[in-house]
């Protein structure tokens, strides 16, 4: 027989709620038996703008490489950085 879940308390702030859930088991407060995985297809990872100074000849080379692949040069830089990081992890 399933027990009745406890009532989730009211929280005064998000910090209070974070502290509560960090120390309590949610299964005591919520019935997860009917839960389904959430799909968030339009969720984009957060980005941060940076300023990066590159020698002109290097940026020109990157732009040519991006143009030959028909992608924006910033996207190509991000792709190359990601590939390099993944290669280092292996």
Q: Which pLDDT belongs to residue 2? A: 66
Q: What is the pLDDT of residues 42-62, one digit of tens each?
A: 888 888 899 999 999 999 999
Over the stretch 59-87, which tens digit does the pLDDT of each residue have? 999 999 999 999 999 999 999 999 999 99
- Examine the pLDDT at 1 and tell me if it is beyond 60: no
**Of 86, 87, 59, the residue nearest 74 (C-alpha):** 59
In this structure, what token pair is assigned to residue 72?
């924006």
Three-class DSSP category at 28:
helix
Rounded CA separation 62/77 (Å) = 8
Q: CA–CA separation, 43 vs 36, rounded Å?
A: 18
Taking CA atoms, 28 is separated from 6, 9, 36, 49, 75, in Å, by: 6, 12, 18, 42, 45
In this prediction the pTM is: 0.52
Task: Note the residue count of the chain.
Answer: 90
Q: CA 63, CA 76: separation in Å to the nearest integer?
A: 9
């Amino acid at each position: 027989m399933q027990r009745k879940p406890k009532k989730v308390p009211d929280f005064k702030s998000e910090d209070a709620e974070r502290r509560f859930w960090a120390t309590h088991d949610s299964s005591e407060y919520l019935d997860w038996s009917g839960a389904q995985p959430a799909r968030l297809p339009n969720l984009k990872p957060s980005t941060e703008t940076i300023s990066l100074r590159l020698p002109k000849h290097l940026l020109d080379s990157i732009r040519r490489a991006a143009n030959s692949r028909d992608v924006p040069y910033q996207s190509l830089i991000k792709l190359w950085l990601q590939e390099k990081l993944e290669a280092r992890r292996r």
